[in-house]
Amino acid sequence: MTHVLRRWLAVFLSWVKQIVHRWLARDTKPNRWGRQHPAPPGKGFAQPKPAWVRNEVTRLKAVMPRAGCRTIAHHFNRRWRVRRQMTVSKTYVADTCRKQQYAILHARRKLKHRIPRPIPRNRIWGCDLLTKTDRQGQPHLALAILDHASRACLRLQRLADKSSWTVLHELVHAVKRYGRPQFLRTDNEAVLVSRLFRVGLWLLGIRQQRIQPGCPWQNGRVERFIGTVKRELAKEPVSDERELSTTLWDIRTWYNHERPHDHLQGRTPAEVWAGIDVFAMRSG
């Protein structure tokens, strides 16, 4: 009886072995030399991205209309790769932008005509750096400080060097003349996030608001102002440091006292800073 059970068990194991071998060999195919190599897996379809990914790509294209697909994919991945474990390719960005053209135009129209909420004067200042190259190809650095409420340019000064101490020196001059803001919004430039700069802001009683990496629109007011300054500087080349300082002074005067602003109801930044409403009805 034991001999019969052993025989049946051997037959059963042989049968199971044949089944396993056939199952393992079903995804292999012989080459021209008769060797067996695993067949490449069939091309599957990737899972569709969530709706919030499409909306975020559309929003990035709306706030950066001149950016290419590679740049938008880089900004998206830099912001959401760690936070939500989500990345996109430049091909996905190109397909999304092509399919969402109307949504992008609608979002841009809403951003352009959106009226910012009113905030008190001297509450938030925006700070950023810009570079101008003279006729000899020598770059010059300048600092721009803008009040968010009135859009007034409080400081537009050429810097002798790119250091936190020099930026703090110019900031102290602006605070002495116009008062101390509650917040200072900056990007993640090395001179604006250094320990010396942060300690200087703490001594001045100013809280720093740092924008997220790769999100320049979070400091959009000063970025828009720097774009205006660069456009004016591009009209006439400068020769040296003295001419650049004079040109920056003229641009600041023109911007604050002569150039009206749409979001200020046609008033200039100097009029809003001083609380003057030139369109108010006069009594009598």
Could you identify the residue written with the tokens 């990496």?
A: 213
Residues 6+ apart with CB under 8 A from 135: 237, 238, 239
Rounded to 10 degrees, the C-alpha dihedral 45/25/9/3 comes to: 180
pLDDT digits (tens, 9 = 90+) for 166-207: 999 999 999 999 999 999 999 999 999 999 999 999 999 999
Q: By C-alpha distance, which of 125, 261, 139, 127 is closest to 189?
A: 127
How far lies 258's CA from each of 5, 105, 224, 253, 275, in Å? 105, 31, 17, 8, 16
Whose structure tokens read 């393992």? 24
- Looking at residue 37, the DSSP 8-state letter turns out to be E
pLDDT in tens, 234-258: 888 888 888 889 999 999 999 999 9
Q: Is the pLDDT of residue 12 over 50?
A: yes
pTM of this structure: 0.70
Report angle CA 156, 122, 108 to the nearest 5 degrees.
75
Q: Are 177 and 153 within 8 A, CB to CB?
A: no
